[in-house]
Structure 1
Amino acid sequence: MSKRSIQLLSPLSYRGLLSARSTSRVIPIDGSWYMPNNPRNPKLEFQTERLPNSKFFDLDGVKDDQSSYPHMLPSLEQFNTAMSQLGLRKDDKLIIYDRVGNFSAPRVAWTFQTFGHDNVYLLNNFPSYQTFAYPMETKEYQHPEPTEYKSTEFDSDAVLSFEQFIDIVSDSAKRQEYNILDARSYGRFTGEDPEPRAGLSSGHAPGAKSLPFSKVLGLNNLFLDKPSLQTLIHDQLKLDQDKRTIVMCGTGVTACILKTALDSVGFNKAGIQVYDGSWTEYAQRAGEDLIVKGKE
């Protein structure tokens, strides 16, 4: 089980990192992505305004292009090619952000870590950064000169396949060994509300607990402080920190918000895995007997 932690960085700390002496470059990465029913265009917004020297990470582009599911991790070769085209280096210090605050950026940060990039930080967060009136870049974006980004590492412990997940949830004894957290809305979890993707059944996997990602975020989508998160995790959800944890959502994006929240309070000692295909894959491949409707 993966015990890598996503590190949170305040806007003030980010500005300090920029001014610190270092042999490594500090590169902001705009990982903005929106649900299909949201008319906003993250690429166009990036072209219009961005953190200085930012590069755009396209979640809809950097993925397994052989998979029928939306955001499955790319192959190591695909990842290296995409990062080379962005002009990144393996020793760059990466500051990941998205325009909502904390929505898709945690997935991007987790992806970099899964492919062995060491210096990855999550800006907590862009709306907060804007309140300080720090510099923004609005000039026309110039595509970078390609580099030779070469990772040789893939952390297989960080991610869970459908076969691994179904083996756990279909066995009542095995699923007792895990905290299984679902980041979708409670209505989708219970099956009362429809999924945003047409034809996909709502509901949840056996043994899963509902933890909508919005519950770990506060004002301006900042992560809740440590005491508030600890109360949520220990007192309300009554999670067992000695158990391994699996996080999932609709397509593997907002599940990484939960992972980041758990990381921030040290609730990762037994390891945390992201079920990459999440509900979009599960609902299409699991049998009806393994899709639970109703409350936990």
Structure 2
Amino acid sequence: MSKRAIKLLSPLSYRGLLSARSDARVIPIDGSWYMPNNPKDAVRDFKTERLPNSKYFNLDAVKDNKSSYPHMLPSLKQFNEAASVLGLRKDDKLIIYDRVGNFSAPRVAWTFQTFGHDNVYLLNNYPLYQTYSYPTETRPLENISPTTYESEEFDSNAVLSFEEIIQIVSNPDTRSNYNILDARSYDRFTGESPEPRPGLPSGHALGAKSLPFSKVLDSNNVFLPPQQIKEIVKSLELDIEKPTIVMCGTGVTACILKTALDSIDFNKKGIQVYDGSWTEYSQRADPELIVKGTA
């Protein structure tokens, strides 16, 4: 289980980081991504307005293209190539953000950490940054000079495979040794509402508890204060002495839960993201391992 924590950065702290003396470059990364049923265009939005000197990280492009499931982590080679095309260096301080506030950016931050990039921060958040009238950039994008980004690290403890989660949930004794959290909406968790991807059944994995990602964010998609997140964890009777697995629809919003738990140091035994999440699980798990309702 990985104990690496995603670090939150307020807009004010981000401005301070820009003015601090450091040998490392500070590079904002726009990781905006929208659900398939959302008509917004993240690439077009990035070209229209962004944090100054931003790069765009495309979750729909930097993934395992051989997998039939969306957003599965890319290979180390593919990740290095994508980071090189963006002109990144291993010692850059990366500030990850998205236009919603905190939606896809935590997944991008987690991806960089999983591939061994140490200086990764999550802006909490871009809409709040805009309310302060801090600088944004609207000029046409400039050509990027590629670099040679060479990470040799992949943190396999940060991610969980289908085979691994099936081993856990199919055995009652093993299952009881984990906190398993599902970030999808409660109605999708119980099976009352359909999945946004046609043809997928709703419901949840055996042993999972529902914690919709919206519960750890305020109305402006800013992460709740630590004390409020602690109260949520307490209400779910989660055990800090157990490792935690987070999942969602495709492994994106699960990283919101991971970030929230990181913010209260609830990673003593580590937190893993089930990459395939419900999209993979619902299609591959045996029916007896898929639950409808609250039980």
Q: Deviations over 1:202-238 (max 9, x none)?
A: 001110000000000003100000110011101x111
Distance of 2:197 and 2:8 partners within structure 1: 31
Q: Which residue of 2 aligns with 1:163?
A: 163
Q: 1:170 is aligned with what amino acid?
A: S
TM-score of the aligned structures, taking structure 1 as reference length: 0.99
Partner AA of 1:238 in structure 2: E
Counterpart residue identity of residue 137, structure 2: E
CA distance in 1, matches of 2:63, 2:158: 16
1:246 aligns with 245
Q: What's 1:277 paired with?
A: 276
Cα offsets for 1:144-178 (capped at 9, x unmatched): 10000000000000000000001101111100000
2:21 corresponds to which letter in structure 1?
R
Unaligned 5+ segments in structure 2 are: none
Q: SS of the residue aligned with 2:94?
A: strand
Give the partner amino acid of 2:277.
S
Match of 2:53 in 1: 53
Residues 217-296 of structure 1 aligned to structure 2 (within 5 Å): 217-234=217-234, 236-296=235-295
Which position in structure 1 is the counterpart of 2:120? 120
Cα-to-partner distance string for 1:35-54 (whole Å, 9 max, x where unaligned) = 00000000000000000000
Residues 229-273 of structure 1: per-residue CA shift (max 9 Å, x gap): 011101x11100000000000000000000000000000001000
Identity %: 74
Q: Deviations 1:123-160 (Å, cap 9, x if unpaired)? A: 00001000100111000011310000000000000000
Give CA deviations for 1:42-87 in whole Å, capped at 9, x if unaligned.
0000000000000000000000011110000000000000000000
| C-alpha separation in 2, matches of 1:184 and 1:142 | 38
1:39 alignment counterpart: 39
Residue identity matched to 2:87 = G
Corresponding residue for residue 19 of structure 1: 19
Q: Which amino acid is 2:199 matched to? A: G
In structure 1, what is the equivalent of residue 88 of structure 2? 88
Number of residue pairs matched by the alignment: 295
Asked if 1:199 is matched to 2:182, the reply is no
Residue by residue over 1:266-291, the C-alpha shift from the partner in whole angstroms, topping out at 9 and shown as x without a partner, is: 00001000000000000010111111
In the TM superposition, 1:123-202 aligns within 5 A as: 123-202=123-202
Structure 1 stretches of at least 4 aligned residues deviating more than 4 Å after TM superposition = none
| 3-state secondary structure, aligned to 1:27 | strand
Letter in 1 for 2:33: W
Two-structure CA RMSD over aligned residues (Å)? 0.5
Residue identity opposite 1:7 in structure 2: K
- Match of 2:4, SS? coil
